[in-house]
Structure 1
Amino acid sequence: MAMAVGMIETVGYPSVLAAADAMLKSGRVALVNYESCASGRYLIAIRGPISEVRSAMEAGKEMVEKLPGDAEIVTHITIPNPPENLEAVLPIFYLAEAEPFRI
């Protein structure tokens, strides 16, 4: 099965929480990374089948756009079939805590 990775960076914790919630509820994906970036920015990464990641990314982006206030998406990306050695450099690998939920 062809796998993909998707990442969304937002401004504000409520927006990243809402995006993660929408993404995990909309597709057969696993949340593999969360980190706090500079200046109140937050990044989440998901993995799963390509079509599921694409639909989950759309759901996450739509959710952030609907939020009141100054919630915004800084950037987002979906990478279908990432090379295996990418995990050695970027935080897109399945953490031990996420392993039970792996797709």
Structure 2
Amino acid sequence: MQAIGLIETRGLTPALEALDAMCKAANVQMVDFKRVGSGLVTVIVEGNVAAVSAAVEAGIAAYKQAGGELIASNVIARPHPELAQMLQAD
């Protein structure tokens, strides 16, 4: 895993919209889709660092255009192997 990108939103529909934009904007794959609780949803994608960065920016833009509440976003380059295992376990 070269990089992971995360976007946390409030609401399922806006999270799906962000994920759709992320996957269309760059060569990334969805790793997981987590419902955190209290309406929070986190989408996680993986790919090379440039693609993940572009995907996260596209997801943020799509989400903001929809008028949703973005909670957090992050790109982690070269994640530790144990972090990658944790994200893929479930």
TM-score above 0.5: yes
Change (3 A) 1:31 1:94: farther
Structure 1 residue runs of 4 or more that deviate by more than 6 Å after TM superposition:
none
Distance 1:39 1:60 in 2: 21
Larger radius of gyration: 1
Change (3 A) 1:81 1:75: same
1:74 corresponding residue in structure 2:
71
TM-score of the two chains, using structure 1 as the length reference: 0.81
RMSD: 1.7
TM-score of the two chains, using structure 2 as the length reference: 0.92
2:14 corresponding residue in structure 1:
15
1:59 corresponding residue in structure 2:
58
**Aligned-residue offset at 1:37:** 1.2
The unaligned stretches of length 5 or more in structure 2 are none
Distance 2:89 2:3 in 1: 13
| Corresponding pairs, count | 90
Moved more, 18-27 or 2-11: 2-11
